[in-house]
Structure 1
Amino acid sequence: MNELLIQTNSKEYPLIIGENLFLQKDILLRAIGEKPTSILVITDDHISSLYLQRVVHALDEISPIFTKVIRSGEASKSFDMYYECQTFALAKGLDRKSLIIALGGGVIGDLAGFVAATFMRGIRFIQIPTTILAHDSAVGGKVAINHPLGKNTIGAFHQPEAVLYDTTFLKTLPPEEKRSGFAEIIKESLILEKNFYQWLKTSVPTLDSLHGSILQEALLKGMRVKATIVSQDERETGIRAYLNFGHTLGHALESVLGYGKISHGDAVAIGMIFAMKVSEKQLNVTLPIREMQKWFNDIGFPLFPKGLSAHDILESMKKDKKVVRGKVRMNLMKEIGALAIEEVDDELLLTLLKQECEEVNV
């Protein structure tokens, strides 16, 4: 078991990662802290069949417990589902001393966290990630739902009480889910220092290598990067935006294709390669793009999607939260481990996007 203290201006809380955490009552009681009047577990219909009863059994001796099971998938991170969860919480009599548990991947963490942030003007919640991808969103307190015009555009900053990362929950992940989550670990290895990237590339040459102690170490290293950045910039006014490397195009692809048509991690992987290409043009640097492309191919990340319009993608990129006065601002790479946020002209973006679209349609 490993533990990391997440420190922000508004709160300190533990990140605990290890196997069979829900068989250890002392860990659960320490994570929960003050006894809640009631507990609401929000999860999805996939995770509920696998792990919900294990979590309920571990918690039902602590407080009265309710469960809300929603449909799995990005489409559930909507205003309608947010409203439904709020209605459920009110109907069950939750109050300001209640606790919400987010049991699931990034969709559940974001949705349940936003419900907690706004129910009775904010109540406590705990993140229990069940995917590799959720290691990124579980730390840092960014919670949100989607709007048809942009991903994560309606949300808040609301730090959890704790993050309990039981790695036994990861053993049922299909390969595409592992790959999607691994993209965010790769992202974290690129933004602060070179050693993490070199270790990751050597330790995980293919997706089959991502298991056991290697997986735990990769998760811990990635979350340590996230914790370091969040401790310096809780509300994304400075370097926290580095954590969005690859996301400007990634989110645009998710939006243009339709949420759920491409995984978040696959979209971010494509976005990271594209950001490196923009960086070479804008910053006049040379980056290991071919090396990255080969590694990404070995892992199984997809190529740029076919049949898309460069103009449509650019318009979607302009809905990114970093856009100022209609100008796209991207995380660009000076070198591995060193990023900069730069305004990028539409003309350059359109040229490179057309190249990507034309290459895949040849």
Structure 2
Amino acid sequence: MELWTGLYLVSFLNVARCLLESSYTVHLNKLSFENAQNYCKPGSFLTNIPNEKEMVKILKTIWDMNNKTTTSFWIGLKKDKGTCVEQRLPLKGFFWTVDNSTQSDVNTWKTNPSSTCAYLLCGLLSVEYSDSGAKSNGYVDTTCRQEHPFICKRNVKLVCPRPEILSTHDMIEPSNDPYTRQIVCPSGTMFNLTCSKDLVWTLVGSKNVDISQLCLECQKGYRRDASGGCVDVNECDESKPCEQGCLNTEGSYKCLCSYNDDGICNGSSKPPTTNQKNNEYSSINRGKSMPTQPTSLPDDVRINEKSKSAGDISNIVVPVIIALLIFIVLLVIVAAIVKGCLRRRTIKLARRKVEAVALNGSSSMEKVNEKEET
């Protein structure tokens, strides 16, 4: 029992030592002293250099940037307006902005700061490069409005809050890196998170994803990919649900059938054999091999079937229409002939009446009328 207690204690001390380890970031973009301070916040600050050990770490970080042209960097060293430069003090009247401390084991100044009380001054770290690494030339004072690269130091007193992940999940916390987490969802999907300098957890590779939703289930037919988004599942490739053809759709799929008019099955693509329609299908196709898998999409099948049906109907309708038109034309011709004959007869009878009246008088007219009646 004591052995295990000792091991746990050693592990805890190692973790604590790692968590308290300072980390630095070198920024080559040029800003004024105040803007550089704001850039480092809230998770970091313009670095202080309390001892030689920290100086060594800072110089290594600068060397790792693989940039040998930048020789001056803002650090958190400042003298307020109205405060005089005092050459006898370690920091010459300057102080570290992170804690207002005036103590440092590193007392090297490249040049003594200007002896003034009237101006606001800020401090730079001057470096030079050799084949083996970066070397400090000491501190340099200048006006705070100048723009230079700068060095931020992560505030070890500020830690990233625990990531808020909805739904059940497992969280893996590396013992040597307090700024990363690995989330394992019930589906087995894993996501890597990183904590920014603003103490905000983001998904590695997709910073705009809401990490709280990572382990929530997507709608049916969808699942989360590595970027945290819900994407369509291709059931046709993964589960092979159809016996004939398969068409993947957004969130679902369709089975393709050669025996349906529209080429789509409502469920399985197995040919029906139970109801009357299916029995007809079975009897018609008895002794024949099953149709091969359709090679075209359902829309093509539907267009072909409609075209065939339209062709069959046109073969019947067109002759009927032609025959009907011929019949109507014949009726018009017969009606015209009958009307002409009746008109000629009427004219002929009228002439006879006129001639009879003119030649024989009324008696002749009566005879004509009697003749017409007979």
Question: What is the TM-score of this pair, normalised by structure 2?
Answer: 0.16
- Compare the two structures and name the one with the higher helix fraction: 1
* Structure possessing the higher relative contact order (Cα contacts under 8 Å, 6 or more residues apart): 1
Question: What is the TM-score of this pair, normalised by structure 1?
Answer: 0.17
Rg (Cα) greater in structure: 2
